[in-house]
Amino acid sequence: MSVLLSVQNLTKRFGGLVANNDISFDLKRGEILSVIGPNGAGKSTLFKLIGGFIKPTAGKVIFEGEDITGLPPHVIAERGIVRTFQETTIFKEMTALQNVVVAHHLQCHATTWGIFFNSRRAREDEARFRDNAAEILEFLGLSKVLDEPAGSLPHGYLRALGIAMGMAANPTVLLLDEPYAGMNPEETDQAVELTRKLVQRGITVILVEHDMRAVMRISDRIVVICFGSKIAEGRPEEIQSNETVIEAYLGREDAALGV
Amino acid sequence: MTPKYLRLATVAVALLVFFAIIPLAFSASPYVLNVLTNALILSVIASGVWLTFAIGRINIAQGAFAMIGGYATAILSTRYGVSFWLCLPLSGLVAAAVGVVIGWPVLRLRGVYFSMISLSITEAVRLAFLNGGEFTRGASGIINIPRPDAISIFGITLVPEFDGTSPLPYYYLAVLILTLTLLSLWRIANSRLGWTFRSMRMNEELAASIGVNVAKYRVIAFAICCFIGGVGGSFFAAFQQNIYPATYTVNDSIFAMLYCFLGGLDYIAGPMVGAFLLVISFELLHPLQQYQPLIYALLMIGFMLWLPNGILSLPLFERWMADTAPRPEEGGRAEPAGAVSKVSSTGRSGA
Protein backbone atom coordinates (compact mmCIF):
# COMPACT_ATOMS: atom_id res chain seq x y z
CA MET A 1 0.00 0.00 0.00
CA SER A 2 1.31 3.43 -0.87
CA VAL A 3 1.72 6.20 1.65
CA LEU A 4 -1.10 8.69 1.25
CA LEU A 5 -0.54 11.04 4.14
CA SER A 6 2.63 11.53 6.07
CA VAL A 7 2.80 13.38 9.36
CA GLN A 8 6.39 14.42 10.03
CA ASN A 9 7.68 15.65 13.40
CA LEU A 10 4.49 17.62 14.06
CA THR A 11 4.76 19.84 17.13
CA LYS A 12 2.22 22.28 18.54
CA ARG A 13 2.86 24.47 21.54
CA PHE A 14 0.25 26.64 23.18
CA GLY A 15 2.46 28.97 25.18
CA GLY A 16 4.27 26.70 27.62
CA LEU A 17 2.00 23.71 26.99
CA VAL A 18 3.21 21.21 24.44
CA ALA A 19 0.01 19.72 23.00
CA ASN A 20 1.74 17.71 20.29
CA ASN A 21 5.41 16.84 20.58
CA ASP A 22 7.30 15.58 17.54
CA ILE A 23 4.61 13.23 16.25
CA SER A 24 5.32 11.26 13.07
CA PHE A 25 3.36 8.53 11.33
CA ASP A 26 2.30 7.46 7.85
CA LEU A 27 -1.18 6.73 6.58
CA LYS A 28 -1.46 4.18 3.80
CA ARG A 29 -4.10 4.32 1.11
CA GLY A 30 -7.23 2.32 1.97
CA GLU A 31 -6.52 1.62 5.63
CA ILE A 32 -8.22 2.51 8.86
CA LEU A 33 -5.84 4.18 11.28
CA SER A 34 -6.93 4.98 14.81
CA VAL A 35 -5.37 7.55 17.07
CA ILE A 36 -5.94 6.71 20.73
CA GLY A 37 -4.77 8.16 23.98
CA PRO A 38 -6.13 9.30 27.33
CA ASN A 39 -8.10 12.53 27.71
CA GLY A 40 -5.90 15.54 27.06
CA ALA A 41 -3.30 13.50 25.17
CA GLY A 42 -3.50 15.82 22.16
CA LYS A 43 -5.63 13.78 19.77
CA SER A 44 -7.98 16.58 18.81
CA THR A 45 -5.05 18.96 18.41
CA LEU A 46 -3.52 16.48 15.98
CA PHE A 47 -6.77 16.41 13.97
CA LYS A 48 -6.94 20.18 13.89
CA LEU A 49 -3.34 20.37 12.70
CA ILE A 50 -3.95 17.90 9.88
CA GLY A 51 -7.19 19.64 8.89
CA GLY A 52 -5.59 23.07 8.88
CA PHE A 53 -7.71 24.54 11.65
CA ILE A 54 -4.59 25.47 13.60
CA LYS A 55 -1.02 25.89 12.39
CA PRO A 56 1.79 23.74 13.77
CA THR A 57 4.75 25.19 15.67
CA ALA A 58 7.04 22.81 13.80
CA GLY A 59 6.83 19.81 11.50
CA LYS A 60 5.11 18.99 8.25
CA VAL A 61 2.04 17.30 6.85
CA ILE A 62 2.63 15.75 3.42
CA PHE A 63 -0.43 14.65 1.45
CA GLU A 64 -0.06 12.82 -1.87
CA GLY A 65 3.53 14.01 -2.06
CA GLU A 66 2.71 17.68 -1.46
CA ASP A 67 3.37 19.79 1.59
CA ILE A 68 0.00 20.97 2.92
CA THR A 69 1.25 22.28 6.27
CA GLY A 70 -0.49 25.46 7.35
CA LEU A 71 -2.95 25.67 4.44
CA PRO A 72 -6.42 26.94 5.42
CA PRO A 73 -9.10 24.29 6.09
CA HIS A 74 -11.11 24.90 2.92
CA VAL A 75 -8.02 24.34 0.77
CA ILE A 76 -7.16 21.15 2.63
CA ALA A 77 -10.76 19.98 2.15
CA GLU A 78 -10.40 20.75 -1.54
CA ARG A 79 -7.26 18.62 -1.69
CA GLY A 80 -9.24 15.72 -0.23
CA ILE A 81 -8.84 15.68 3.55
CA VAL A 82 -12.18 16.26 5.25
CA ARG A 83 -12.74 16.38 8.97
CA THR A 84 -16.01 15.43 10.60
CA PHE A 85 -16.84 16.84 13.98
CA GLN A 86 -18.39 15.36 17.06
CA GLU A 87 -22.10 14.83 16.99
CA THR A 88 -23.43 18.27 17.92
CA THR A 89 -21.60 20.02 15.10
CA ILE A 90 -24.08 20.14 12.22
CA PHE A 91 -26.15 22.93 10.71
CA LYS A 92 -28.97 22.65 13.21
CA GLU A 93 -31.48 24.93 11.50
CA MET A 94 -31.36 23.03 8.21
CA THR A 95 -33.00 19.71 7.41
CA ALA A 96 -30.83 16.60 7.21
CA LEU A 97 -31.01 16.71 3.42
CA GLN A 98 -30.07 20.41 3.26
CA ASN A 99 -27.07 19.73 5.48
CA VAL A 100 -25.76 17.18 3.02
CA VAL A 101 -26.68 19.25 -0.06
CA VAL A 102 -24.77 22.22 1.36
CA ALA A 103 -21.80 19.96 2.05
CA HIS A 104 -21.44 19.40 -1.71
CA HIS A 105 -19.87 22.85 -1.94
CA LEU A 106 -16.64 21.59 -3.49
CA GLN A 107 -18.46 19.84 -6.33
CA CYS A 108 -20.02 23.10 -7.52
CA HIS A 109 -19.47 23.70 -11.25
CA ALA A 110 -21.50 26.90 -11.51
CA THR A 111 -19.90 30.29 -10.88
CA THR A 112 -21.23 32.66 -8.23
CA TRP A 113 -22.94 34.71 -10.96
CA GLY A 114 -24.31 31.52 -12.46
CA ILE A 115 -25.78 30.60 -9.09
CA PHE A 116 -27.30 34.07 -8.73
CA PHE A 117 -28.93 33.97 -12.16
CA ASN A 118 -29.90 30.31 -11.74
CA SER A 119 -27.99 29.19 -14.82
CA ARG A 120 -28.51 25.78 -16.36
CA ARG A 121 -25.28 24.62 -14.77
CA ALA A 122 -26.44 25.80 -11.33
CA ARG A 123 -29.71 23.92 -11.73
CA GLU A 124 -27.82 20.80 -12.83
CA ASP A 125 -25.53 21.14 -9.80
CA GLU A 126 -28.51 21.42 -7.49
CA ALA A 127 -30.28 18.40 -8.98
CA ARG A 128 -27.09 16.33 -8.84
CA PHE A 129 -26.42 17.34 -5.22
CA ARG A 130 -29.96 16.41 -4.18
CA ASP A 131 -29.74 12.98 -5.79
CA ASN A 132 -26.30 12.37 -4.40
CA ALA A 133 -27.29 13.60 -0.92
CA ALA A 134 -30.33 11.34 -0.90
CA GLU A 135 -28.13 8.44 -1.97
CA ILE A 136 -25.55 9.12 0.76
CA LEU A 137 -28.28 9.44 3.41
CA GLU A 138 -29.79 6.16 2.29
CA PHE A 139 -26.37 4.52 2.38
CA LEU A 140 -26.06 5.66 6.00
CA GLY A 141 -29.63 4.61 6.87
CA LEU A 142 -30.98 8.13 7.24
CA SER A 143 -33.56 8.16 4.44
CA LYS A 144 -36.40 8.28 6.96
CA VAL A 145 -35.32 11.65 8.36
CA LEU A 146 -34.42 13.53 5.14
CA ASP A 147 -36.74 16.43 5.84
CA GLU A 148 -36.42 16.58 9.62
CA PRO A 149 -34.71 19.67 11.04
CA ALA A 150 -31.23 18.41 11.87
CA GLY A 151 -31.33 20.01 15.33
CA SER A 152 -34.10 17.64 16.43
CA LEU A 153 -32.49 14.37 15.37
CA PRO A 154 -31.45 11.79 18.00
CA HIS A 155 -27.76 11.25 18.78
CA GLY A 156 -27.01 8.26 16.59
CA TYR A 157 -28.52 9.96 13.57
CA LEU A 158 -26.52 13.12 14.20
CA ARG A 159 -23.27 11.24 14.06
CA ALA A 160 -24.27 9.55 10.83
CA LEU A 161 -25.31 12.92 9.46
CA GLY A 162 -21.86 14.33 10.24
CA ILE A 163 -20.30 11.43 8.33
CA ALA A 164 -22.77 12.00 5.47
CA MET A 165 -21.61 15.61 5.22
CA GLY A 166 -18.02 14.48 5.18
CA MET A 167 -18.80 12.00 2.39
CA ALA A 168 -20.56 14.69 0.38
CA ALA A 169 -17.29 16.59 0.21
CA ASN A 170 -15.93 13.57 -1.68
CA PRO A 171 -12.86 13.03 0.49
CA THR A 172 -9.79 10.90 -0.09
CA VAL A 173 -9.13 10.88 3.64
CA LEU A 174 -11.89 11.24 6.20
CA LEU A 175 -10.94 12.32 9.71
CA LEU A 176 -13.59 10.96 12.08
CA ASP A 177 -13.72 12.56 15.50
CA GLU A 178 -15.02 10.06 18.06
CA PRO A 179 -17.51 8.35 15.76
CA TYR A 180 -18.59 5.79 18.37
CA ALA A 181 -18.79 7.94 21.52
CA GLY A 182 -21.93 7.57 23.59
CA MET A 183 -23.25 4.60 21.63
CA ASN A 184 -24.59 1.34 23.04
CA PRO A 185 -22.87 -1.86 21.84
CA GLU A 186 -25.49 -2.50 19.19
CA GLU A 187 -25.19 0.99 17.73
CA THR A 188 -21.41 0.69 17.85
CA ASP A 189 -21.61 -2.54 15.84
CA GLN A 190 -23.61 -0.77 13.16
CA ALA A 191 -21.28 2.22 13.16
CA VAL A 192 -18.22 -0.05 12.87
CA GLU A 193 -19.86 -1.77 9.88
CA LEU A 194 -20.49 1.64 8.42
CA THR A 195 -16.85 2.64 8.77
CA ARG A 196 -15.88 -0.52 6.89
CA LYS A 197 -18.33 0.38 4.15
CA LEU A 198 -16.67 3.80 3.85
CA VAL A 199 -13.36 2.09 3.23
CA GLN A 200 -14.97 -0.17 0.63
CA ARG A 201 -16.00 3.01 -1.17
CA GLY A 202 -12.33 3.90 -1.45
CA ILE A 203 -12.12 6.35 1.45
CA THR A 204 -9.13 6.16 3.76
CA VAL A 205 -10.07 6.75 7.40
CA ILE A 206 -8.29 8.18 10.41
CA LEU A 207 -10.33 8.13 13.58
CA VAL A 208 -9.93 9.38 17.10
CA GLU A 209 -11.81 7.19 19.54
CA HIS A 210 -12.19 6.20 23.18
CA ASP A 211 -14.12 2.98 22.67
CA MET A 212 -11.25 0.46 22.86
CA ARG A 213 -13.34 -2.53 21.88
CA ALA A 214 -14.42 -0.83 18.66
CA VAL A 215 -10.93 0.50 17.95
CA MET A 216 -9.36 -2.93 18.34
CA ARG A 217 -11.94 -4.47 16.04
CA ILE A 218 -11.83 -1.99 13.24
CA SER A 219 -8.32 -0.59 12.99
CA ASP A 220 -5.66 -1.79 10.61
CA ARG A 221 -3.13 0.13 12.64
CA ILE A 222 -3.18 2.21 15.80
CA VAL A 223 -1.13 5.20 16.89
CA VAL A 224 -1.03 5.80 20.64
CA ILE A 225 -0.26 9.24 21.99
CA CYS A 226 0.18 10.22 25.60
CA PHE A 227 0.94 13.69 26.96
CA GLY A 228 1.40 14.92 23.40
CA SER A 229 3.98 12.36 22.33
CA LYS A 230 3.62 9.22 20.26
CA ILE A 231 4.42 6.24 22.47
CA ALA A 232 3.49 3.38 20.18
CA GLU A 233 2.34 2.44 16.72
CA GLY A 234 1.30 -0.89 15.32
CA ARG A 235 -1.40 -3.45 14.59
CA PRO A 236 -4.11 -3.85 17.25
CA GLU A 237 -2.64 -7.06 18.66
CA GLU A 238 0.77 -5.40 18.93
CA ILE A 239 -0.73 -2.47 20.78
CA GLN A 240 -2.65 -4.77 23.12
CA SER A 241 0.56 -6.45 24.17
CA ASN A 242 2.79 -3.36 24.14
CA GLU A 243 4.30 -2.90 27.60
CA THR A 244 4.69 0.88 27.29
CA VAL A 245 1.09 1.32 26.23
CA ILE A 246 -0.28 -0.84 29.00
CA GLU A 247 1.85 0.88 31.60
CA ALA A 248 1.53 4.46 30.46
CA TYR A 249 -2.04 4.50 29.35
CA LEU A 250 -4.04 1.36 29.83
CA GLY A 251 -2.50 0.17 33.06
CA ARG A 252 -5.66 0.13 35.10
CA GLU A 253 -7.98 -0.48 32.19
CA ASP A 254 -6.52 -3.59 30.65
CA ALA A 255 -9.83 -5.37 31.08
CA ALA A 256 -11.27 -3.02 28.49
CA LEU A 257 -8.61 -4.20 26.06
CA GLY A 258 -9.68 -7.77 26.48
CA VAL A 259 -6.22 -8.88 27.58
CA MET B 1 -53.94 28.49 -1.83
CA THR B 2 -50.58 27.01 -1.07
CA PRO B 3 -48.12 29.34 0.66
CA LYS B 4 -46.15 29.63 -2.58
CA TYR B 5 -49.06 31.02 -4.58
CA LEU B 6 -50.19 33.09 -1.64
CA ARG B 7 -46.79 34.76 -1.61
CA LEU B 8 -46.83 35.30 -5.36
CA ALA B 9 -50.26 36.89 -5.07
CA THR B 10 -49.02 39.08 -2.21
CA VAL B 11 -46.08 40.25 -4.28
CA ALA B 12 -48.35 41.00 -7.24
CA VAL B 13 -50.73 43.00 -5.04
CA ALA B 14 -47.83 44.87 -3.44
CA LEU B 15 -46.42 45.79 -6.86
CA LEU B 16 -49.84 46.99 -7.98
CA VAL B 17 -50.29 49.08 -4.84
CA PHE B 18 -46.84 50.65 -5.02
CA PHE B 19 -46.68 51.24 -8.77
CA ALA B 20 -50.29 52.20 -9.47
CA ILE B 21 -52.62 52.72 -6.52
CA ILE B 22 -50.43 54.87 -4.27
CA PRO B 23 -49.31 57.24 -7.08
CA LEU B 24 -52.92 57.65 -8.16
CA ALA B 25 -54.23 58.21 -4.66
CA PHE B 26 -51.52 60.61 -3.51
CA SER B 27 -50.41 62.37 -6.68
CA ALA B 28 -51.69 65.63 -5.20
CA SER B 29 -49.91 65.15 -1.90
CA PRO B 30 -46.14 65.64 -2.16
CA TYR B 31 -45.80 65.19 1.60
CA VAL B 32 -47.14 61.63 1.55
CA LEU B 33 -45.04 60.73 -1.47
CA ASN B 34 -41.92 62.14 0.19
CA VAL B 35 -42.51 60.13 3.34
CA LEU B 36 -43.09 56.97 1.30
CA THR B 37 -39.98 57.60 -0.79
CA ASN B 38 -38.01 57.96 2.42
CA ALA B 39 -39.41 54.70 3.74
CA LEU B 40 -38.70 52.94 0.45
CA ILE B 41 -35.03 53.90 0.34
CA LEU B 42 -34.52 53.27 4.05
CA SER B 43 -35.91 49.80 3.29
CA VAL B 44 -33.30 49.41 0.56
CA ILE B 45 -30.47 50.45 2.89
CA ALA B 46 -31.72 48.16 5.66
CA SER B 47 -32.07 45.25 3.21
CA GLY B 48 -28.32 45.33 2.78
CA VAL B 49 -27.88 44.90 6.51
CA TRP B 50 -30.22 41.92 6.35
CA LEU B 51 -27.64 40.10 4.26
CA THR B 52 -24.91 40.57 6.85
CA PHE B 53 -27.31 39.14 9.41
CA ALA B 54 -27.55 36.11 7.12
CA ILE B 55 -23.83 35.42 7.65
CA GLY B 56 -24.16 35.98 11.39
CA ARG B 57 -22.79 39.49 11.80
CA ILE B 58 -24.66 42.31 13.49
CA ASN B 59 -23.74 45.18 11.22
CA ILE B 60 -23.96 48.74 12.56
CA ALA B 61 -21.96 50.29 9.74
CA GLN B 62 -24.54 50.77 7.05
CA GLY B 63 -24.83 54.54 7.57
CA ALA B 64 -21.15 54.82 6.62
CA PHE B 65 -21.71 53.08 3.30
CA ALA B 66 -24.83 55.08 2.51
CA MET B 67 -22.72 58.16 3.17
CA ILE B 68 -19.90 56.91 0.92
CA GLY B 69 -22.46 56.29 -1.83
CA GLY B 70 -23.98 59.72 -1.29
CA TYR B 71 -20.64 61.51 -1.44
CA ALA B 72 -19.59 59.48 -4.48
CA THR B 73 -22.69 60.71 -6.29
CA ALA B 74 -22.24 64.26 -5.01
CA ILE B 75 -18.60 64.50 -6.07
CA LEU B 76 -19.00 62.70 -9.40
CA SER B 77 -22.01 64.75 -10.44
CA THR B 78 -21.03 68.22 -9.19
CA ARG B 79 -17.35 68.06 -10.03
CA TYR B 80 -17.15 65.79 -13.05
CA GLY B 81 -20.63 66.23 -14.46
CA VAL B 82 -21.34 62.50 -14.45
CA SER B 83 -24.99 61.66 -15.11
CA PHE B 84 -26.99 60.49 -12.11
CA TRP B 85 -27.88 57.28 -13.91
CA LEU B 86 -24.21 56.39 -14.06
CA CYS B 87 -23.57 57.69 -10.54
CA LEU B 88 -26.17 55.35 -9.08
CA PRO B 89 -24.39 52.05 -9.86
CA LEU B 90 -20.93 53.65 -9.55
CA SER B 91 -21.70 54.84 -6.02
CA GLY B 92 -22.74 51.30 -5.15
CA LEU B 93 -19.46 49.99 -6.54
CA VAL B 94 -17.40 52.58 -4.64
CA ALA B 95 -19.16 51.63 -1.39
CA ALA B 96 -18.66 47.93 -2.15
CA ALA B 97 -14.96 48.49 -2.85
CA VAL B 98 -14.51 50.31 0.45
CA GLY B 99 -16.54 47.52 2.07
CA VAL B 100 -14.14 44.88 0.73
CA VAL B 101 -11.08 46.75 1.99
CA ILE B 102 -12.52 47.36 5.45
CA GLY B 103 -14.44 44.10 5.63
CA TRP B 104 -11.58 41.76 4.81
CA PRO B 105 -9.79 42.24 8.16
CA VAL B 106 -12.78 43.28 10.27
CA LEU B 107 -15.09 40.39 9.36
CA ARG B 108 -12.80 37.98 11.20
CA LEU B 109 -14.40 39.31 14.35
CA ARG B 110 -17.66 37.83 15.54
CA GLY B 111 -20.50 38.70 17.83
CA VAL B 112 -20.29 41.83 19.89
CA TYR B 113 -16.73 42.58 18.73
CA PHE B 114 -17.78 42.92 15.12
CA SER B 115 -20.73 45.09 16.15
CA MET B 116 -18.48 47.41 18.13
CA ILE B 117 -16.05 47.81 15.25
CA SER B 118 -18.84 48.35 12.74
CA LEU B 119 -20.34 51.05 14.96
CA SER B 120 -17.03 52.86 15.00
CA ILE B 121 -16.75 52.55 11.20
CA THR B 122 -19.84 54.75 10.91
CA GLU B 123 -18.21 57.38 13.09
CA ALA B 124 -14.80 57.09 11.40
CA VAL B 125 -16.31 57.57 7.94
CA ARG B 126 -18.27 60.61 9.14
CA LEU B 127 -15.07 62.15 10.53
CA ALA B 128 -13.22 61.34 7.31
CA PHE B 129 -15.75 63.28 5.27
CA LEU B 130 -15.79 66.08 7.82
CA ASN B 131 -12.01 66.46 7.50
CA GLY B 132 -11.82 65.78 3.78
CA GLY B 133 -10.73 69.33 2.98
CA GLU B 134 -11.63 70.75 -0.42
CA PHE B 135 -12.52 67.29 -1.73
CA THR B 136 -15.55 66.84 0.56
CA ARG B 137 -15.95 70.50 1.60
CA GLY B 138 -15.99 69.62 5.30
CA ALA B 139 -18.97 70.53 7.46
CA SER B 140 -20.57 72.72 4.82
CA GLY B 141 -21.12 69.62 2.71
CA ILE B 142 -21.89 69.45 -0.98
CA ILE B 143 -25.01 71.24 -2.14
CA ASN B 144 -26.80 71.72 -5.45
CA ILE B 145 -26.39 68.10 -6.46
CA PRO B 146 -28.09 67.91 -9.86
CA ARG B 147 -31.39 66.09 -10.25
CA PRO B 148 -31.47 62.96 -12.40
CA ASP B 149 -31.39 63.99 -16.04
CA ALA B 150 -33.39 62.59 -18.94
CA ILE B 151 -32.48 59.28 -20.53
CA SER B 152 -33.03 59.23 -24.25
CA ILE B 153 -31.92 56.86 -26.96
CA PHE B 154 -32.08 57.91 -30.64
CA GLY B 155 -34.08 60.99 -29.73
CA ILE B 156 -36.74 59.01 -27.90
CA THR B 157 -37.05 60.10 -24.28
CA LEU B 158 -37.28 57.01 -22.10
CA VAL B 159 -37.12 58.84 -18.77
CA PRO B 160 -37.92 62.55 -18.64
CA GLU B 161 -35.74 64.89 -16.61
CA PHE B 162 -36.61 65.08 -12.92
CA ASP B 163 -37.73 68.72 -12.80
CA GLY B 164 -38.59 68.85 -9.11
CA THR B 165 -42.20 69.96 -9.56
CA SER B 166 -43.46 66.66 -8.18
CA PRO B 167 -41.81 63.98 -6.04
CA LEU B 168 -43.54 61.33 -8.13
CA PRO B 169 -40.52 60.47 -10.37
CA TYR B 170 -38.36 59.98 -7.26
CA TYR B 171 -41.08 57.83 -5.78
CA TYR B 172 -41.21 55.60 -8.85
CA LEU B 173 -37.44 55.31 -8.93
CA ALA B 174 -37.39 54.35 -5.23
CA VAL B 175 -40.02 51.66 -5.80
CA LEU B 176 -37.97 50.33 -8.71
CA ILE B 177 -34.74 50.23 -6.69
CA LEU B 178 -36.45 48.47 -3.79
CA THR B 179 -38.05 45.95 -6.16
CA LEU B 180 -34.69 45.15 -7.74
CA THR B 181 -33.02 44.91 -4.31
CA LEU B 182 -35.63 42.52 -2.95
CA LEU B 183 -35.55 40.48 -6.15
CA SER B 184 -31.77 40.14 -5.87
CA LEU B 185 -31.94 39.19 -2.21
CA TRP B 186 -34.67 36.67 -2.97
CA ARG B 187 -32.45 35.08 -5.60
CA ILE B 188 -29.51 34.97 -3.17
CA ALA B 189 -31.56 33.59 -0.29
CA ASN B 190 -33.08 30.83 -2.42
CA SER B 191 -29.92 29.81 -4.20
CA ARG B 192 -26.92 27.84 -3.07
CA LEU B 193 -25.28 31.15 -2.17
CA GLY B 194 -27.92 31.78 0.50
CA TRP B 195 -27.43 28.31 1.96
CA THR B 196 -23.69 28.86 2.04
CA PHE B 197 -24.23 32.13 3.93
CA ARG B 198 -26.60 30.44 6.38
CA SER B 199 -24.18 27.59 6.92
CA MET B 200 -21.54 30.16 7.90
CA ARG B 201 -23.95 31.79 10.33
CA MET B 202 -24.62 28.45 11.99
CA ASN B 203 -21.00 27.30 12.22
CA GLU B 204 -18.05 28.81 10.38
CA GLU B 205 -15.66 26.03 11.35
CA LEU B 206 -17.96 23.35 9.97
CA ALA B 207 -18.50 25.37 6.79
CA ALA B 208 -14.72 25.56 6.34
CA SER B 209 -14.39 21.81 6.85
CA ILE B 210 -16.69 21.09 3.90
CA GLY B 211 -14.56 23.35 1.73
CA VAL B 212 -16.26 26.75 2.00
CA ASN B 213 -13.77 29.61 1.75
CA VAL B 214 -15.35 31.38 4.70
CA ALA B 215 -13.24 34.53 4.43
CA LYS B 216 -14.19 34.99 0.78
CA TYR B 217 -17.91 34.41 1.22
CA ARG B 218 -18.30 36.72 4.17
CA VAL B 219 -16.57 39.48 2.21
CA ILE B 220 -18.93 38.79 -0.72
CA ALA B 221 -21.94 39.14 1.58
CA PHE B 222 -20.56 42.31 3.15
CA ALA B 223 -19.71 43.83 -0.25
CA ILE B 224 -23.25 43.22 -1.51
CA CYS B 225 -24.54 44.85 1.68
CA CYS B 226 -22.31 47.87 1.11
CA PHE B 227 -23.27 48.06 -2.57
CA ILE B 228 -26.94 48.24 -1.62
CA GLY B 229 -26.16 50.86 1.04
CA GLY B 230 -24.18 52.90 -1.49
CA VAL B 231 -27.02 52.82 -4.01
CA GLY B 232 -29.46 53.96 -1.32
CA GLY B 233 -27.11 56.78 -0.31
CA SER B 234 -26.70 57.82 -3.95
CA PHE B 235 -30.47 58.05 -4.34
CA PHE B 236 -30.81 60.16 -1.18
CA ALA B 237 -28.08 62.53 -2.36
CA ALA B 238 -29.94 63.19 -5.60
CA PHE B 239 -33.30 63.24 -3.81
CA GLN B 240 -32.29 65.86 -1.26
CA GLN B 241 -29.76 67.48 -3.58
CA ASN B 242 -27.28 67.91 -0.77
CA ILE B 243 -25.12 65.86 1.56
CA TYR B 244 -23.29 66.72 4.79
CA PRO B 245 -21.11 64.69 7.14
CA ALA B 246 -24.09 64.88 9.52
CA THR B 247 -26.48 63.32 6.98
CA TYR B 248 -25.74 59.84 8.32
CA THR B 249 -24.87 59.31 11.95
CA VAL B 250 -24.51 56.29 14.18
CA ASN B 251 -28.27 56.55 14.74
CA ASP B 252 -28.95 55.83 11.07
CA SER B 253 -26.77 52.73 11.19
CA ILE B 254 -28.59 51.55 14.29
CA PHE B 255 -32.00 52.21 12.72
CA ALA B 256 -31.07 50.21 9.62
CA MET B 257 -30.25 47.28 11.89
CA LEU B 258 -33.37 47.83 13.96
CA TYR B 259 -35.64 47.67 10.90
CA CYS B 260 -34.25 44.18 10.22
CA PHE B 261 -34.90 43.02 13.77
CA LEU B 262 -38.35 44.49 13.79
CA GLY B 263 -39.49 42.91 10.55
CA GLY B 264 -37.79 39.60 11.19
CA LEU B 265 -34.37 38.31 10.23
CA ASP B 266 -35.74 35.20 8.56
CA TYR B 267 -37.68 37.10 5.95
CA ILE B 268 -36.46 39.06 2.95
CA ALA B 269 -39.36 41.48 3.40
CA GLY B 270 -38.43 41.94 7.06
CA PRO B 271 -36.34 45.13 6.70
CA MET B 272 -39.04 46.66 4.49
CA VAL B 273 -41.80 45.87 6.97
CA GLY B 274 -39.69 47.29 9.80
CA ALA B 275 -38.74 50.46 7.92
CA PHE B 276 -42.28 51.23 6.76
CA LEU B 277 -43.77 50.59 10.16
CA LEU B 278 -41.36 52.85 12.02
CA VAL B 279 -41.02 55.62 9.43
CA ILE B 280 -44.76 55.95 8.90
CA SER B 281 -45.73 55.61 12.53
CA PHE B 282 -43.31 58.36 13.48
CA GLU B 283 -44.68 60.62 10.79
CA LEU B 284 -48.12 60.05 12.28
CA LEU B 285 -46.82 60.68 15.78
CA HIS B 286 -45.01 63.86 14.87
CA PRO B 287 -45.12 65.43 18.36
CA LEU B 288 -43.17 62.48 19.72
CA GLN B 289 -40.30 62.89 17.29
CA GLN B 290 -37.87 64.15 19.92
CA TYR B 291 -38.31 60.89 21.82
CA GLN B 292 -37.65 58.82 18.71
CA PRO B 293 -34.33 57.27 19.83
CA LEU B 294 -35.82 56.46 23.22
CA ILE B 295 -38.87 54.79 21.73
CA TYR B 296 -36.70 52.90 19.20
CA ALA B 297 -34.53 51.63 22.03
CA LEU B 298 -37.51 50.44 24.06
CA LEU B 299 -39.00 48.80 20.99
CA MET B 300 -35.77 47.00 20.30
CA ILE B 301 -35.51 45.64 23.83
CA GLY B 302 -39.16 44.62 23.69
CA PHE B 303 -38.74 42.78 20.41
CA MET B 304 -35.66 40.93 21.57
CA LEU B 305 -37.53 39.78 24.64
CA TRP B 306 -40.94 38.90 23.27
CA LEU B 307 -40.71 38.58 19.51
CA PRO B 308 -37.10 37.71 18.68
CA ASN B 309 -38.02 36.55 15.18
CA GLY B 310 -39.76 39.80 14.23
CA ILE B 311 -43.21 40.91 13.20
CA LEU B 312 -43.40 38.49 10.29
CA SER B 313 -43.07 35.59 12.73
CA LEU B 314 -46.48 36.43 14.23
CA PRO B 315 -49.09 33.69 13.75
CA LEU B 316 -50.96 36.16 11.55
CA PHE B 317 -48.37 35.70 8.82
CA GLU B 318 -47.89 31.98 9.28
CA ARG B 319 -49.82 31.06 6.16
CA TRP B 320 -47.38 33.02 4.04
CA MET B 321 -44.31 31.44 5.53
CA ALA B 322 -45.48 27.85 6.06
CA ASP B 323 -43.08 26.18 3.62
CA THR B 324 -39.94 28.22 4.20
CA ALA B 325 -36.82 27.08 6.05
CA PRO B 326 -37.26 24.93 9.19
CA ARG B 327 -37.62 26.77 12.44
CA PRO B 328 -34.72 26.72 14.87
CA GLU B 329 -35.39 24.16 17.57
CA GLU B 330 -34.41 25.96 20.72
CA GLY B 331 -35.59 29.43 19.70
CA GLY B 332 -31.91 30.16 19.31
CA ARG B 333 -32.63 33.42 17.53
CA ALA B 334 -32.83 35.22 20.87
CA GLU B 335 -29.11 35.57 20.34
CA PRO B 336 -29.57 37.42 17.09
CA ALA B 337 -28.92 35.20 14.10
CA GLY B 338 -26.56 32.98 16.03
CA ALA B 339 -24.07 35.80 15.86
CA VAL B 340 -22.63 34.71 19.15
CA SER B 341 -21.77 31.42 17.56
CA LYS B 342 -20.12 28.54 19.24
CA VAL B 343 -16.43 28.98 18.81
CA SER B 344 -15.55 25.77 20.55
CA SER B 345 -17.65 22.86 19.43
CA THR B 346 -15.44 20.06 20.57
CA GLY B 347 -17.34 19.57 23.82
CA ARG B 348 -16.36 16.64 25.91
CA SER B 349 -13.45 14.96 24.19
CA GLY B 350 -9.79 15.11 24.99
CA ALA B 351 -7.40 17.86 23.99
Give the ipTM of the model, two decimals please: 0.86
Put simply, whether A116 touches B (Cβ < 8 Å) is yes
CA atoms lying within 13 Å on the CB side of residue B47:
29
Q: What chain A residue is nearest to B333 in terms of C-alpha separation?
A: A93
| pLDDT per residue as tens digits for the range B253-269 | 998 998 998 888 888 88
Helix (H, G, I), strand (E, B) or coil at A143: helix
3-state percent helix, strand, coil for chain A, nearest multiple of 5:
45, 25, 30
Q: Which of B279, B18, B212 is nearest to A107 (CA)?
A: B212
Q: List the single range of A54-68, A207-221, B313-327 with lowest mean pLDDT.
A: B313-327
Residues of chain A numbered 33-92 and touching chain B (CB < 8 Å): 37-45, 51, 53, 72-74, 77-78, 82-86, 88-92
Q: pLDDT value at position A252?
A: 53
Average pLDDT for B93-117: 94
Put simply, whether A18 touches B (Cβ < 8 Å) is no
Residues B235, B344: Cα–Cα separation, whole Å: 43
Average pLDDT for A129-145: 89
Higher per-residue pLDDT: A181 or A120: A120
Q: Which residues pair with A11 in a beta bridge?
A: A58
Residues A97, A136: Cα–Cα separation, whole Å: 10
| pLDDT per residue as tens digits for the range B291-347 | 877 887 887 788 888 888 888 888 777 766 654 544 433 333 333 333 333 333 333
Average pLDDT, chain B: 84
Identify which of A191-195, B190-194, B219-223 has the greatest average pLDDT: B219-223
Q: Which residues of chain B have a CB within 8 Å of the CB of A77?
A: 208-211
C-alpha separations of B249 from A12, B121, B123, B296 in Å: 46, 11, 7, 15
Confirm if B265 and B337 have CB atoms less than 8 A apart.
yes
In this structure, the dihedral spanned by the alpha carbons of residues A139, A144, A149 and A155, taken in order and rounded to 10 degrees, is -70
CB contact under 8 A, A41 and B350: yes
C-alpha separations of A84 from A158, B47, B77, B114, B218 in Å: 11, 35, 54, 28, 22
Average pLDDT for B24-49: 91
- Phi and psi at B264, nearest 5°, equal 125, 125
Q: Nearest CA of chain A to the CA of B55: how many Å?
A: 13
